[in-house]
């Protein structure tokens, strides 16, 4: 009996980890943009959705192999994010906080409806890219898709970490998050760095979109809404603006959801997940890994 309970718990942890890794890939985009612009890009969930839908389009309709279709979906979504930033957010960069926020909501609705009108609102079956293989350890099942999700997100996070911490571009990003004007004075091409930030964040979200398609076998135009909200929650939970925080927050959220559904009931899944968020933010308003900051005067 103890063995079964342990196996069941392990199973929830594995399932939660896979879901958390997907949240993490989306949460990174929120946190990177917020870190630099102090702006919550509510259209980010739609980048995730477009990634999944384009992945499906390239693989199923245009019959591309996945190793061609997925990178193309990533690049396309990255390009979309750069365009959105260039034409919708940049003109409003000095317009205070509310205008870009409302614009982001508008962009989100625009992208969602554009996809819904062209592709239809129906959930679509995502082709099995990899064999539906499972590895059994006693009564614990590890799906091949789960391994792929974990490996891909780990590799991407490692790459992101290297970019942010070890490259010149990364140093510019970190500098921008501290002081905009000083960076400009030091000769940093601010617009280019911001474009790049949007590009990287959106490609990560697009990867998450295709992974979700592979893992849950379906994509639909509305998938970005709840996933975007959850990832945003994860970013806030971990401390918005902090890259490791986004990852920790996302894994925390994914695992707690799996445990709530496993040992409690699915009806309370979102209530408990957001309840945890509220409690943590009451005691640590800056999130798990964020730093308390004083408002610049």
Residues near other proteins, by CB under 8 A: 4, 7-8, 11-12, 15-16, 18-19, 120-125, 128, 132, 134, 136, 139, 141, 143, 145, 212, 216-218, 222-223, 226, 257-259, 261-262, 265-267
In the complex with other proteins, which residue's Cβ is closer, 17 or 163? 17
Q: Minimum CB separation from other proteins for residue 108, in Å?
A: 17
Q: Minimum CB separation from other proteins for residue 52, in Å?
A: 11
Q: Minimum CB separation from other proteins for residue 58, in Å?
A: 19
In the complex with other proteins, which residue's Cβ is closer, 139 or 189? 139
Please state, in angstroms and rounded to a whole number, the distance separating the CA atoms of residues 107 and 231: 18
Q: Minimum CB separation from other proteins for residue 261, in Å?
A: 4
Q: Which residues pair with 218 in a beta bridge?
A: 125
Please state, in angstroms and rounded to a whole number, the distance separating the CA atoms of residues 63 and 78: 22
In the complex with other proteins, which residue's Cβ is closer, 40 or 111? 111
Nearest to 112 by CA among 120, 124, 101: 120
Q: Minimum CB separation from other proteins for residue 220, in Å?
A: 9
In the complex with other proteins, which residue's Cβ is closer, 87 or 137? 137
Nearest to 142 by CA among 284, 15, 272: 15
CA 53 and chain centroid, separation? 16
If you count them, how many residues does the chain have?
A: 297
3-state secondary structure of 137: strand
- Give, in degrees to the nearest 5, the angle at Cα 195 between 86 and 296: 95
Neighbours of 62 (CB within 10 A): 10
In the complex with other proteins, which residue's Cβ is closer, 12 or 89? 12
Token match 């959850």: residue? 230
Tokens for 59, please give them.
Answer: 């693989």
Q: Minimum CB separation from other proteins for residue 111, in Å?
A: 17
In the complex with other proteins, which residue's Cβ is closer, 4 or 62? 4
Contact criterion met (CB below 8 Å) for 20 and 251: yes
In the complex with other proteins, which residue's Cβ is closer, 97 or 133? 133
Please state, in angstroms and rounded to a whole number, the distance separating the CA atoms of residues 75 and 144: 25
Q: Minimum CB separation from other proteins for residue 154, in Å?
A: 20
Please state, in angstroms and rounded to a whole number, the distance separating the CA atoms of residues 8 and 74: 35
Q: Minimum CB separation from other proteins for residue 18, in Å?
A: 8
Find the distance separating the first CA and the last CA of the chain, reported in whole Å. Answer: 60
- Give, in degrees to the nearest 5, the angle at Cα 281 between 233 and 297: 100
* DSSP assigned state of 288: S
Please state, in angstroms and rounded to a whole number, the distance separating the CA atoms of residues 291 and 297: 18
In the complex with other proteins, which residue's Cβ is closer, 141 or 276? 141
């Amino acid at each position: 009996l103890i063995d079964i309970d342990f196996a069941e718990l392990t199973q929830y942890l594995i399932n939660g980890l896979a879901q958390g890794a997907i949240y993490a890939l989306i949460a990174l985009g929120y946190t990177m943009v917020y870190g630099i612009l102090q702006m919550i890009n509510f259209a980010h969930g739609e980048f995730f959705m477009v990634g999944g839908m384009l992945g499906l389009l390239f693989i199923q309709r245009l019959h591309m192999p996945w190793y061609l279709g997925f990178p193309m979906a990533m690049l396309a979504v990255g390009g979309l994010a750069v365009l959105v930033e260039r034409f919708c957010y940049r003109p409003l960069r000095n317009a205070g906080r509310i205008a870009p926020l409302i614009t982001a909501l508008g962009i989100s609705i625009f992208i969602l409806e554009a996809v819904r009108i062209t592709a239809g609102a129906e959930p679509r079956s995502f082709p099995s890219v990899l064999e539906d293989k499972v590895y059994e350890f006693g009564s614990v099942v590890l799906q091949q898709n789960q391994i792929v999700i974990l490996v891909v997100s780990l590799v991407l996070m490692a790459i992101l970490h290297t970019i942010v911490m070890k490259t010149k571009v990364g140093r510019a990003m970190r500098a921008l998050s501290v002081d905009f004007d000083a960076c400009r004075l030091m000769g940093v091409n601010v617009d280019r760095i911001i474009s790049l930030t949007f590009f990287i964040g959106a490609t990560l979200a697009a990867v998450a979109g295709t992974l979700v398609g592979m893992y849950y076998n379906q994509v639909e135009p509305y998938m970005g809404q709840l996933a975007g909200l959850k990832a945003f929650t994860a970013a806030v939970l971990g401390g918005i603006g902090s890259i490791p925080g986004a990852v920790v927050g996302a894994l925390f959220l994914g695992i707690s959801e799996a445990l709530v559904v496993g040992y409690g009931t699915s009806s309370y899944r979102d209530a408990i997940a957001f309840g945890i968020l509220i409690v943590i933010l009451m005691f640590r308003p800056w999130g798990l890994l964020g730093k308390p900051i004083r408002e610049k005067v």
